[in-house]
Amino acid sequence: MEDLLRRIQYDSDQAAFREFYLSQAPQLLNFAFVYIKSKFIAEEVVNDVFMNLWRSRQRLHEIANPRVYLYVGVKNGISSYFSRNKEWQHVDIDTISEVSLEFTTDPEQLLITAELRKRIETAVNSLPPKCRVIFKMIKEDGLKYREVAEILHLSVKTVENQMTIAIRKISAEIYLVTGDEQLVNEYSKL
């Protein structure tokens, strides 16, 4: 990522910018969609952040953590969108991280796998909103606890506590479906 940013800043390299955009935009779009629930508006918010980044590319060296910078930019764009439109909505996370499961053709195991995925999705969707967002940012977007804390203006301890709540609830659902403590332990380590 550092090489791309250097090429963007010093060479105004559009190919490097495109590569950087393609590597970062999908996670940012998912993040924006969680709040906005409109693919079109989420894309607009994310694209605005990248356009602002391109316009101020000569100052990229001032950005300590580019991923956090992008997430904060998207978060601010979402706030601006709601301020302009006054359309506060209740939002649910539609997708969760996939749980690694072995492939099988055993019908009973396939039913358990389908039931497990359904129960995990239900468990994630029933998490408190802040807990869901934190879980998604860490498990789906691959952000570190510290980065999530910085983006959401929370302490790292709060992020850790919210992840503990999420993992305990999801682990309980896994155990209810499978009765397999080893699978629960593997999921807890993800």
96 — alpha (psi -120 to 50), left (phi > 0) or beta?
A: beta
26 in Cβ contact with 95 (< 8 Å): no
d(CA 174, CA 119): 7
Question: C-alpha angle 80/159/146, rounded to 5°?
Answer: 80
Question: C-alpha angle 78/80/86, rounded to 5°?
Answer: 95
Burial grade of 46 (CB within 10 A; 0-12, 13-18, 19 or more): buried
Q: How far is CA 102 from CA 106, 119, 183, in A?
A: 11, 18, 11
Question: Each residue of 117-166: pLDDT tens digit?
Answer: 777 778 788 888 888 889 888 887 788 899 899 988 999 999 999 988 88
Give the pTM: 0.57
Kindly state the tokens that stand for 190.
């993800």
Amino acid of residue 120: I
13 — alpha (psi -120 to 50), left (phi > 0) or beta?
A: beta
81: nearest Cα among 50, 44, 115, 119: 44
Return the domain boundaries, the chain.
2-85, 107-189
CATH of 107-189, one of 1.10.3720.10, 1.10.10.10, 1.20.1250.20, 3.70.10.10: 1.10.10.10
Q: pLDDT tens for the chain, 190 residues: list them.
A: 788 888 888 888 899 999 999 999 998 988 888 888 788 888 999 999 999 889 888 888 888 888 888 988 998 888 888 877 764 443 433 333 333 333 344 455 555 566 667 777 787 888 888 888 898 888 877 888 998 999 889 999 999 999 888 888 877 776 666 665 655 555 555 5
Reduced to 3 states (helix: H, G, I; strand: E, B; else coil), residue 64 is coil
- Domain 2-85 class? mainly alpha
